[in-house]
Amino acid sequence: MNIKNICCIGAGYVGGPTMSVIAAKCPDIKVNVVDLNKQRIAAWNETDLDKLPIYEPGLSAIVAQARGRNLFFSTDVDQAILDADMIFISVNTPTKTYGIGKGMAADLKYIELCARQIAAVAKTDKIIVEKSTLPVRTAEALKSILSSTGNGVNFQVLSNPEFLAEGTAVQDLLEPDRVLIGGERTEEGEVAMQALHDVFHNWIPSERILLTNVWSSELSKLTANAFLAQRVSSINSLSALCEATEADVDEVARAIGQDSRIGPKFLKSSVGFGGSCFQKDILNLVYLCQTYGLQEVADYWHQVIKMNDYQKRRFAQKIISTLYNTVNGKKIVLLGWAFKKDTNDTRESAAIYVADYLLSEMAELVVYDPKVTAEQIYADLDYLNTRSESENRNLVTVANNYDELFDDAHAVAVMTEWDEFKEIDWEHVFDRMLKPAFIFDGRAILDMPALENIGFRGFAIGKG
Ligand code: UDX
Ligand code: ADP
């Protein structure tokens, strides 16, 4: 089966870059990316490529190559469904904030709405690809909704989890370690899997395209993220021990990472992992285990999240205790708000929680991030519902450059490892700050001994 027309529902961090790369690599396939959000679609159609709705290194060049040729962004969801042989579902699946599974299970309402819309509109057979991060057995639910329309249309449902990491999305899509395709082990299922395989095979060698059953594919996504997050929580737990002893967490990480059985990646201690996936996927895994009565397994994975919460709290407490147990009215500069460098995404960023903690102690925060807007920063704080919108605006100022950023500040805290923070002229910063001047390096990216030599009192995660 030769795919000629792809529709992707959801033009977010996953759908946008993934479809841009598919379109760039498969000029013979027409790719329509659709979303209900008019503003987002307008931004994807911006002639000024700096105004695309998401920031990813290399993305604007890929969009420029394919957009208008075989890549289109639109709000006409029905037409795109009608035209497609294959439909990717890339809508958001946030953690439920209400009802059964509140705070743990994924909210599948957007997925279900998509399935119902596809079922109502489609007139020809289609392959449906679940791309959003989903709990295990969602494909089954999708299939059930799709097949109960009774209008004679056949749907094959595939699971194709996304492994791209933000900040390196384009590179990860161009040269993935593996692509996973889960499908029904029936004749029709095999045909559908082969069709998706052939799309990716335009630029990815066959040995990197793994075909599995649907449940294995869905569970692999949760598990991969749980393993990665577990490594970060493991090294972060040791950062606390290192701070209490003479050990240095970076030295420990280097030493254990050189063991080829352990490997060096995802051992960088930090103020805590963020992003839309890690916490959500682990909570999903925990919920799934509980549902099957596997309480010990659930507790085991839940500890990865608890350790991450502890790390964020511990960092904020360190700032407060160092500043003589009060930050009331003190200016503290937060460098970075995104959950990692090279993205404008702030979902679950450690910065939000550290800021919230400091604001509860009446600190006055000034936030600077090279890619995150003031609007987003206030929205993130308002969403927590800890204090009123006006209090958030009174206590937090957002700077869009370094002018006067550090003037009369008591402390600076590095929240995101943006490369530009390594280039800051710290001598100049020190001159502007109140003394004693404190610096808290939550990403361990600054050369602290050098900063201490010019007068800073410095604290980096995992250093005594
Ligand atoms: C993750 C997975 O890596 C990706 O495969 C999946 O598709 C989506 O979830 P992402 O959340 O975009 O990707 O970024 P990732 O690079 O995994 O980082 C997640 C968080 O962990 C960030 O806050 C990062 O700063 C933190 N981290 C990562 C550490 O604190 N230390 C590390 O050593 C690595
Ligand atoms: P992700 O990181 O998973 O890509 P995002 O929140 O960035 O998540 O993107 C999901 C997108 O899906 C949003 O832009 C949202 O407007 C869109 N969306 C959600 N439900 C629907 C729907 N039923 N039809 C079209 N688009 C939808």
What is the 3-state secondary structure of 132-198?
CCCCCCHHHHHHHHHHCCCCCCCEEEEECCCCCCCCCHHHHHHCCCCEEEEECCCHHHHHHHHHHHH
Q: Which residue has the tokens 């410095």?
A: 458
77 lines ligand 2 (CB under 6 A): yes
Pocket test for ligand 1, best of 133, 166, 222, 282 (most atoms within 8 A of CB): 166
Alpha-carbon span 130 to 455, nearest angstrom: 54
Q: Separation of 373 CA from ligand 1 center, angstroms?
A: 21
Catalytic residues: 277
Tens digits of per-residue pLDDT, 438-448? 999 999 999 99
Q: Separation of 184 CA from ligand 2 center, angstroms?
A: 26
225 lines ligand 1 (CB under 6 A): yes
Would 5-204 and 307-460 be classified into the same CATH topology? yes
Q: Residue 399 pLDDT > 70, yes or no?
A: yes
Looking at every residue in the chain, the average pLDDT score rounds to: 95
- Cross-strand partners of 273: none
Q: What is the pLDDT of residue 235?
A: 98
Tens digits of per-residue pLDDT, 419-440? 999 999 999 999 999 999 999 9
Q: What is the pLDDT of residue 150?
A: 66
Answer for the pair 96, 106: CB distance below 8 angstroms, yes or no: yes
Ligand 1 atom 3, closest CA:
165
Ligand 1 atom 5, closest CA:
163
115 lines ligand 2 (CB under 6 A): no
Answer for the pair 180, 210: CB distance below 8 angstroms, yes or no: yes
Whether residue 346 is annotated as binding a ligand: the answer is no
Alpha-carbon span 288 to 286, nearest angstrom: 5
Pocket test for ligand 2, best of 19, 56, 76, 92 (most atoms within 8 A of CB): 92
Mean pLDDT of 130-151: 79
Q: Separation of 398 CA from ligand 2 center, angstroms?
A: 27
Q: Residue 457 pLDDT > 80, yes or no?
A: yes
Cα–Cα nearest to 21, from 177, 165, 175: 175
Tens digits of per-residue pLDDT, 77-110? 999 999 999 999 999 888 888 888 888 888 888 9
Answer for the pair 354, 270: CB distance below 8 angstroms, yes or no: no
Q: Where are the domains of the chain?
A: 5-204, 307-460
Cα–Cα nearest to 249, from 271, 224, 229: 271
Alpha-carbon span 332 to 357, nearest angstrom: 12
DSSP per residue over 59-109, as a string? Answer: HHHHHHHHBTTTEEEES-HHHHHHH-SEEEE----PBP-SSTTTTTSB--H
Fold assignment, 307-460: Rossmann fold (3.40.50)
Mean pLDDT of 335-345: 96
Alpha-carbon span 154 to 143, nearest angstrom: 10
Tens digits of per-residue pLDDT, 350-359? 999 999 999 9
Tens digits of per-residue pLDDT, 208-235? 999 999 989 989 999 999 999 999 999 9
Q: What is the pLDDT of residue 165?
A: 94
Q: What is the pLDDT of residue 97?
A: 87
278 lines ligand 1 (CB under 6 A): yes
Strands (E), 311-385: 331-335, 364-368
Q: Separation of 232 CA from ligand 1 center, angstroms?
A: 9
Alpha-carbon span 128 to 146, nearest angstrom: 10
Reading the block at residue 272, the tokens are 């805590």
37 Cα nearest atom in ligand 2: 16
Ligand closest in space to the Cα of 53: 2
Q: Separation of 294 CA from ligand 2 center, angstroms?
A: 32
95 φ/ψ angles, rounded to the nearest 5 degrees: -70, 140
Tens digits of per-residue pLDDT, 284-331? 999 999 999 999 999 999 999 999 999 999 999 999 999 999 999 999
Whether residue 40 is annotated as binding a ligand: the answer is yes
Mean pLDDT of 377-381: 98
Q: Residue 35 pLDDT > 80, yes or no?
A: yes
- Cross-strand partners of 209: 179
Q: What is the pLDDT of residue 103?
A: 86
Ligand 1 atom 7, closest CA:
163
Fold assignment, 5-204: Rossmann fold (3.40.50)
Whether the link from the prior residue into 161 is cis, omega within 30° of 0, is no
DSSP annotation of 49: G
Q: What is the pLDDT of residue 96?
A: 85
